Structure 1
Amino acid sequence: MIWFHDDENEQQKEESDKAPKGITESMLESRTILISEPINSKLASRVISQLLVLADRDPEAPIKVFLNTPGGGADDGFAIMDMIRFVSCPVYTISAGLTASAGVIILLGAKKENRLSLPNSRIMIHQPSTGIQGTATDIHITAQEILKLRKRANQLIADETGQSLEKVEQDTERDYWLSPEEALEYGLIGRIVRNSAEI
């Protein structure tokens, strides 16, 4: 699997969402989804299911997706992003704490005016990485896939922010950290909000 962020994920990706079912149901009733763990296939399945259920309940009412994640599986991040764009209802993505790596891909799923950040969030973009193992042929294939993924992710960031592809490629060569104000100027978010009334 190709990860956008791999240092903490090996320890954290096994920690599933242990919130009591009552809290999860209450959040769904308020049309709120929380992504507060490393991004993997289990989390993607849960979030995609929640998006589909909420869209079925009311295809016009907005959905809020709060992000506090160090990143994770690239394919899982893109799957959630695609579903945010697939559902008919408007979706707000809100950085609340840390939105890093594949978390930014999810953040970019919403329209720019619906991409928000709380005042003390941190946002980080970088290139994908993986722990390559296997035969020389397998390593070569995986390396080619990483390059294709990097190109796709950089193009997405460029398209959604208005930054040139060359600048995005340069910025994502290493970890590139942004404050909410810097993310706003960069084009990753559309607004900084301080309370729920501003959403």
Structure 2
Amino acid sequence: MPTGVALHDVRGQLFDAAERVLVREGPSALTSRAVTLEAGCAKGVLHRHFADFDDFLAELVRDRVARIDGHAAALRESAGTGTVTDNLTRVLPDLFDPVAVAVVSLVTSRDGLRARLREARPVGVPILTDAATAIASYLTAERELGRIAEDADVGTLAPTLIGAAHMLFADRQGVPPEAEDIGKVVNAVIAGVR
């Protein structure tokens, strides 16, 4: 491996490399060696920037969770425009892009990583919990606008939709679902509250 080569945005390069390995080969292939080989740097680079590999993975997950905030804000801003079904159908592929789906698999497959993440987040699965929070916030805004029923239980609807959507997107090697299929799931979940 090359040494003495200046790396810019080391964290970003390592995260990008980890995401490529994760999507291409799955969580079991994600090792510090695989990440540094993919990034084209010495293994020591990772360990100079992170306490250990679980620390690196926890930061990778946190970085990925932070990306959901942008989607959540855009979704909430869409309240009152278009249709509720179309707004939800449009955001779900962003929330469940291949990397996000792979990160969910990573979190559920690594006990040490889950334990590290539980220090700051005692409940839920990152990505899924954050996506459900985004959906609940949006549905709350739509409820306040009178576009869904006043008694709609958004605290139940949001995780129900996220669970059903995750099932559509969970096949890491498959073809992503069509908008029509996503729309059917959205309609089924929110049909009783429109």
Name whichever structure is richer in helix by fraction: 2
Name whichever structure is richer in strand by fraction: 1
Give the alignment's TM-score, normalised by structure 1.
0.29
Which structure is larger by alpha-carbon Rg, 1 or 2? 2
Give the alignment's TM-score, normalised by structure 2.
0.30
